[in-house]
Amino acid sequence: MGFSKQLIDYSNSFTARMISGVILIQLSSIPVMVFGFFLLIEKNYQETFVNQVRSDSFWLAKIIQPVIVDTNQDRLASILEEVLLNGDIVYAQVIENNGKPVITRTFFDDQHPLQYYEDFYFGQHNDDIYFVSLPINEDGAAFSGTIRLGYDESPLQELIVTSYVRGFAIAGVYTAAMLILVIWYGRRITKPIQKIQEMAQLVASGGEPNDFHVNSKITEFRNLSGDLHRMSVALVAKTREANEREIRLRTIMDHAAEGIVVLNDRLCIESCNPAVERDFGYPANELVGHPITRLVPELEAEAGSRGLTLHQKPLSETEQSLAHEATGSRKNGTNFRLEITIGYADAGDNRLFTLIIQDITERKRLDEKNSVSEKMEAVGRLAAGIAHEINTPTQYVRDNTNFTKESVATLFQLIDGYRELTQSAAIEPLTSDQINQAKVGLQEAEFDYLKDELPSALDQSLDGLQQISEIVRAIKEFSHPGQIDRQVVDINRVVENAVKVCKSEWKYTAEMQLNLDSGLPDIECYPSMIGQSIINLVINAAHAIEEQGTDTSDPGLIKVSTRKAGDRISIEVADNGAGINASDQKKIFDPFYTTKAPGKGTGQGLSLVRTIVVDRHGGDLKVESEIAKGTRILIEIDQTPLRQEKA
């Protein structure tokens, strides 16, 4: 097992890869080069051989031609035998034009006769003989024919084979020399690399190498060793710093009162602090690796993105940094209210989320108690005005009811008279006195007057009851204790209710003008808190107009407007009152700060507006004011559309 691992490690080493590369290059290039080179040589030898054969044959035919023409066969036979002794020619034959042989000489016996095939290139018929024929013809001579010669190809074949063998032998020696050189040079290169690797492993294991210096004449290695030494010193320092930072962070997490959870990009828990174990009842080992929905079922990954959804609603990166309320699920099956603040960090393609979780059960209880107290206090301050608002329509409802009662009694008397008249008419015809008496009764009852006034009295009564109903409903919605949680509401209705509740504060001072955008979507907010903010701003506007004083040319005016501003909902309260000094505009939202005369204000109204808008809703407050011309206060809160399943 150990040897096989060493073999695998060596096969993956730089030296082995260099050797493999050289072998691959040599095996792929040298045979091709050697074969190509000697193929050219072979071709050159063959062409030279063919040219030499044809040249020799031509001159030999010239020499033999006179002898053949003289028809001296003895001398011809002697010449052909001498030609065979040349060593290159192994076959000679003279034939007539009709194909009849005149004389034939060959190195081979009769048991191995040669078959003549004329060749046009070297090795054409694979018989190791190159046959060539030349005509013998002389003007005026008695003989005309052809001489055939056969040249031995085997010496040249042996020369070519020998050349190939020597070439490949030289190539083998060259390859072996290159391998030896590569092995030697590879060891020279890998030796300093191995030392650097050993030092790097020491650093990776937490050690501190004294020096990365390597004994090498290669400049790059010397520079690399110096750079790695400096890097190792810096890395060791940063590692110490990171360890110290981790210890500090771990100490903070372990002792933090809030729960801290770290999630990966799949929203699975990577780590948590003891506060999470305490609040949810799970030990850490039962949480790590599990999705956050085990603790907060409403918090999920947004499909197709790197974001989050809470209550099935996508959270923008800006919204993630705000505090969000949700429901936590304990191990024992109980639920509790919690507040989550989400942070994130991108590390390459991965995103980590950090959740700060706080149990707000007790705070919610106190908030609900304080909210009810504040609303009751506000209703108490407005009680006299509200009572007056209810009393006015109640008075004319009562008066109209008495009028209706008396009118109905008169009508009943008139109806009784007419009933008696109809009964008499059934017995005998009516007399003129009875008819005149009926007319007089109709006039005395003032029937025409009752016909006109009675419906009007009823309409006025219904209108008064409607006013009372609206005031009661507005007070009920404003003071309802169930509105401590965020709810999806029509913001225009919240504004209308708030204006109605505080009507007694502004009706004798200013005219109210509502410019409400009917196209606004429903938003998720704390409706009771938003209503409280509108009441505070409207009352302040009424007081500013009262302080300014009005005349018939410029009566007091309060404008309350709503509109959509990009991704936000804007609520504006404007007046033409006394205005606010520029030096005071930056301080009007501070607790206990007031611009009113002593005894006129507590400095808590606008401070509460800021807490509701900025702290609880993550919104913005803007103030524009000019002395003697009026003030404009703008509330902007994020728009939160209805959930998809309610669309």
Contact between residue 293 and residue 327 where contact means Cβ atoms under 8 Å apart: no
Please say if the pLDDT value at position 18 is more than 80: no
Cα dihedral 474, 478, 483, 488, rounded to 10, equals 50
Reported as a single tens digit per residue, the pLDDT across 600-619 is 555 566 778 888 888 778 88
Q: By mean pLDDT, which of 265-274, 301-310, 325-334, 600-609 is the weakest?
A: 301-310
Do residues 397 and 465 touch, judged by C-beta distance below 8 A? yes
Nearest to 385 by CA among 558, 510, 507: 507
Average pLDDT over residues 108-137: 72
Q: Which pLDDT score is estimated for 560?
A: 95
pLDDT tier at 161 (50, 70, 90 boundaries)? confident
What type of residue sits at position 520? L
Q: What pLDDT score does 26 carry?
A: 67
- Categorize the per-residue pLDDT at 644 as very low, low, confident or very high, splitting at 50, 70 and 90: very low
* DSSP string of 354-366, one letter each residue: EEEEEE-HHHHHH
- Whether residue 559 is predicted with pLDDT greater than 90 in this model: the reply is yes
Give the amino acid at 610. R
pLDDT at residue 513, as a whole number: 93
486-647 is classed CATH 3.30.70.120: no
- Give residue-wise pLDDT tens across range 259-299: 888 888 788 898 898 988 998 999 989 899 898 888 888 87
* Least confident piece of the model among 103-107, 330-334, 557-561: 103-107
* Other Cβ atoms within 10 Å of 626 Cβ, number: 12
Q: What is the pLDDT of residue 143?
A: 56
What the block records as the tokens of 418 is 């007419």
Identify the bridge partners of residue 523 per DSSP, sorted by sequence position: 489
Q: Which two tokens stand for residue 312?
A: 């099935």
Q: pLDDT tens for residues 513-522?
A: 999 999 999 9
What pLDDT is recorded for position 242? 81
Phi, psi of 269 (to 5 degrees): -75, 125
Beta strands 511-516 and 557-565: pairing type?
Answer: parallel
CB of 92 closer than 8 Å to CB of 78: no
Lowest mean pLDDT segment, chosen from 147-161, 311-325, 442-456:
311-325
Distance CA(513)–CA(559), nearest Å, equals 5
Q: Can you tell me the mean pLDDT for 187-215?
A: 69
Res. 562 pLDDT band, cuts 50 70 90: very high
Short-list 324, 398, 327, CA closest to 356 = 324
320 pLDDT tier (thresholds 50, 70, 90): low
Longest CA span, the chain:
193
Residue in the block written with tokens 């110096």: 226
List the structure tokens of 564: 């959509």
Among 80, 75, 140, which Cα is nearest to 106's? 80
When comparing pLDDT for 596 and 57, which is higher? 57
Residue 294 to residue 73: CA distance in whole angstroms: 120
- Paired tokens of 575: 């007046």
Distance, first Cα to last Cα, the chain: 67
Quick one: tokens of 589?
């939202």
- pLDDT value, residue 170: 80
The answer to whether 275 touches 287, Cβ cutoff 8 Å, is no
- Per-residue pLDDT band at 643 (split at 50, 70, 90): very low
Cβ count near 210 (within 10 Å): 9
- Cα–Cα distance for residue pair 272/285, rounded to 1 Å: 10
pLDDT of 480 higher than 50: yes
pLDDT band of 107, cuts 50, 70, 90: low
Average pLDDT for residues 209-223, to the nearest whole number? 65
Q: What is the CATH number of domain 256-359?
A: 3.30.450.20
Per-position DSSP letters for 572-594, written without gaps between them: EEEE-SS---HHHHTTTTSTT--
Give phi and psi for 45, each to the nearest 5. -60, -45
Answer with the residue of higher pLDDT: 36 or 568. 568
14-161 placed in CATH 3.30.450: yes
In this structure, of 74-78, 120-124, 131-135, 202-206, the range with the lowest mean pLDDT score is 202-206
pLDDT digit string, tens, across residues 392-408: 677 667 777 877 777 77
Give how far the C-alpha of residue 14 lies from the chain's centroid of Cα atoms, to the nearest Å.
40
Output the DSSP codes for 9-28: HHHTSHHHHHHHHHHHHHHH
Model pLDDT, residue 282? 92
Select, from the ranges 404-408, 443-447, 620-624, the one with the highest average predicted confidence (pLDDT). 620-624
Alpha-carbon distance 378 to 604, whole Å?
A: 12
Residue 635 has pLDDT above 90, yes or no: yes
Residue 641 has pLDDT above 80, yes or no: no
pLDDT at 124 over 50: yes
Least confident of 176-190, 253-267, 332-346, 501-515: 176-190
Classify 79 in phi/psi space as left (phi over 0), alpha (psi -120 to 50) or beta: alpha
Instruction: Kindly list the domain boundaries of the chain, sorted by start residue.
Output: 14-161, 212-249, 256-359, 360-484, 486-647
- The residue-averaged pLDDT of 12-16 equals 64
User: In CATH terms, are 256-359 and 486-647 the same topology?
Assistant: no
- Tokens for 108, please give them: 């081979």
User: Pairing between strand 308-310 and 313-315?
Assistant: antiparallel
Query: Which DSSP category does 284 fall into?
Result: G
